[in-house]
Structure formats: structure tokens, C-alpha cells
Amino acid sequence: MSVLEGTAHVYGPNVDTDVIIPARYLTSTEAEELAQHCMEGIDPEFVSRVRPGDLIVAGRNFGSGSSREHAALAIKGSGVACVVAESFARIFFRNAINVGLPIVECPGVTEGAQTGDRFRVDLGAGSVENVTKGRTFRATPLPPFVQEILDAGGLMPWVARQLAREREVRVGVAPEEPAQADWRLD
């Protein structure tokens, strides 16, 4: 599991997807293009300041509002290595996992944090350290199933694997039967 270290861009609570990528840019579907307007609604200087490997550190309810996946794509496209937030809105959480943008839920992480602070995120150990301020926080572990999607490289590779498995079942066991693999996970 990787350790990510970078400079943080720090925001408060309720950073919604409208400020991450305003709707007027949603006519584009390309991460690189969307990245040129990332965080424009809340921090117009972000685009000129951000460097590859930087982190976003934010308060609770990050990514609330619109389901636009363009928000996760814009952040990923801008080179941000990881978003650490006190909590995430659920659609953004899914979108980030699905497009392979690392996210870490970490209660208390914004305490004393300022833009420019160095942060170190140990995904394996589940710890987040504000190196500048000398404070360490514990991350909330991902549900094992969500971790499985991440390990597969995102939702599409995971689905591809499931479909391949279904085809094996079909060919190997009951060639006439339609695919009806039991996908229920307990």
C-alpha cells in the first residue's frame, strides 16, 4: 500500500460539486479539460497553484450536491493524489472510487490545517499526518467490498472481471442457461 506525501489545499465543510466544477463546463467530458476549471467556484487560484501530487484536505460533506462525475475527474485531472475529508457525500464517494481517485475519510483532519501544510497519507496503515503541524489522525477504513473495487482498479475493471466470471459459468456448466450469477454479497 502506498504512502502519499504532498502539499495540502485546505477547505472547509460542504464543498459541493458545483464549486468543484461549475455546470457551465459540463459540456466537456475530458479530465484534462475539466481540470482547467477545478475548484473555480471556491478557489479561482487553485488551478495555477496546484502541483502534481498535491492533496486536498477538507471538512465534512465534501462533494455534496450534483452527481456530476466531472468533479472527481476534474480533481484527478489536476494531478491531486488524494482527497482527505472529515466526511464525503455519498455520490462523490462512489464516483471517486469508480474513477480511481484515492479518497480518505478522516475525522478531525482539518483541525489546525492550513493551505501549504505538508501531509502524509499512509493508505495501508490508515493514518494521516499533518507533517507541518506535527499531528496524526486516524482514517476510517473502507468497507472490504469497496476496497475490492479499488484493488481491481475501479468499477469498470471490476465489472469486466464479473462479466468474465459469468461467461465462464455459462460455458463451463450450463451452456444453454442465461447468465444469472448470484451477485449477492453478505
Partner 1 sequence: MSGLTITEKILARAAGADVVRPGEIVMARVDLAMGNDVTAPVAIARFRELGVERVWDPSKVALVPSHFVPAKDIASARLGMTMREFAREQGIEHYFELGRGGIEHILLPEQALALPGMVIIGADSHSCTYGAVGAFSTGVGSTDLAAVLATGKIWLRVPDSVKFVYEGRPGPWVVGKDLILHVISQVGDDGCAYQAMEHTGPALRYLSMDSRFTLTNMAIEAGAKSGIIPPDEVTLAYVRSRQEATGRHLPFDVLASDPDAHYAAEHVIDVSALEPQVSLPSLPSLAQPVSTAERVRVDQVFIGSCTNAKLEDLRMAAHVLRGRRADPRVRLMVIPATQEIWLRANEEGLLQVFAEAGATVSTPTCGACLGGHMGVLGPGEVCVSTSNRNYVGRMGHPSARVYLVNPAVAAATAVLGRLAHPDELGVEPPVLEPAAVGASEGGAQGDGAGGADARTGGGGA
Residues that bind partner 1 (CB under 8 A): 14, 16, 18-19, 22-24, 26-29, 40-42, 60-61, 64-70, 72, 87, 89-91, 94-95, 98-99, 143, 145, 154-156, 159-160, 162-163, 182-186
- To partner 1, the closest distance from the beta carbon of 98 in angstroms equals 4
Which of 33, 122 has the CB closer to partner 1? 33
Helix and strand numbers, DSSP H then E, in the chain: 7, 7
Q: Are 80 and 33 in contact (CB under 8 A)?
A: no
- To partner 1, the closest distance from the beta carbon of 69 in angstroms equals 4
The secondary structure of residue 161, as a DSSP letter, is H
- To partner 1, the closest distance from the beta carbon of 167 in angstroms equals 11
Which of 59, 79 has the CB closer to partner 1? 59
Which of 98, 127 has the CB closer to partner 1? 98
Q: State the amino acid at position 13 in one-letter form.
A: P
Which of 65, 79 has the CB closer to partner 1? 65
| Dihedral-angle region of residue 25 (phi above 0 means left; psi in -120 to 50 means alpha; beta otherwise) | alpha
- To partner 1, the closest distance from the beta carbon of 116 in angstroms equals 23
C-alpha cell recorded at residue 152: 481491481
- Dmax (CA) for the chain in angstroms is 63
Chain position carrying cell 472481471: 161
Q: State the amino acid at position 75 in one-letter form.
A: I
Which of 24, 134 has the CB closer to partner 1? 24
Read out DSSP for 85-139? ES-B-HHHHHHHHHHT--EEE-TTTTTT--TT-EEEEETTTTEEEETTTTEEEEP
15: three-class secondary structure by DSSP: coil
Which of 9, 68 has the CB closer to partner 1? 68
- To partner 1, the closest distance from the beta carbon of 102 in angstroms equals 16
- To partner 1, the closest distance from the beta carbon of 154 in angstroms equals 7
